[in-house]
Amino acid sequence: MELLVASAIGILTASGLYLVLRLRTFPVIMGTSLLTYAVNVFLFASGRLTVGAPPILTDATRYTDPLPQALVLTAIVISFGMTAVVVMIALGAYLGGNDDQVDDLIPASDAEDRT
């Protein structure tokens, strides 16, 4: 199971990073979403992987660490909100400028210098 979780985090991070390095907003936002999924699983795994144990300290000796679950919950909510915000701003920029490149526009004065 460790191998499965670790490779899932690795693949998600790698594809996320690749997408983040694209030049258009849609792939970049997809990339950040993948990265946040990766980090959620990573946070979940930071309390060690235990199967079939309650996240509460009973008289049983086996239990799952409940704190990472709380952390993941917070992280999910925040990343969900942030992604919604960035989608809205990116849509606004796209509809206003009719162009969804992420990098800087070259100002008119600079463009003259370069040609």
Partner 1 sequence: MIHWLILPIVLPAFLAPFIVLAARYHITIQRVFSLFGAVALIAVGLGLSVEAASGEVMLYRLSDWAAPFGIVLVGDRLSTLMVTLTAVLALFVLLYVIGSKWDERGRHFHALFQFQLMGIMGAFLTGDLFNLFVFFEVLLIASYGLMIHAGGTVRLRAGVQYVLYNLLGSTLFLFALGAIYAETGTLNMADLAQRVALIDLGETVGIRIAAVLLLMVFAIKAAVVPLHFWLPSSYAEAPGPVASLFAIMTKVGAYAIIRVYTLIFPPELAATADLHTTWLLPAALLSLALGMVGVLAAKQLDRLVAFSVIGSMGMVMVAIALFTPEGIAAALYYIVHSTLAAGALFLICDLVRAGRANLDLTAQPQVAGARLTSAMFFVAAIAMVGVPPLSGFIGKLLIMDAAVQNPYMTWIWAVILGASLLSLVGFGRAGSTVFWKARAVEAEEDTAPATAPGVLCYVGAGGLLALLAAHTLLAGPATAYATAISQQLFGPERYLTTVLETPGKLSDGKEEAH
Cβ–Cβ under 8 Å, residues 36 and 112: no
Site string for partner 1, 9-48 (x = CB under 8 A): -----------x----x--xx--x--xx--x--xx-xxxx
DSSP state of 103: S
Q: CA quadruple 35, 40, 41, 47: dihedral positive or negative?
A: positive
Q: Which is nearer to partner 1, 54 or 92 (CB)?
A: 92
Terminal CA-CA length for the chain = 57
Residues that bind partner 1 (CB under 8 A): 20, 25, 28-29, 32, 35-36, 39, 42-43, 45-48, 65, 67-68, 71, 74-75, 78-79, 81-83, 85-86, 89-90, 92-93, 96-97, 102-105, 107, 109-110
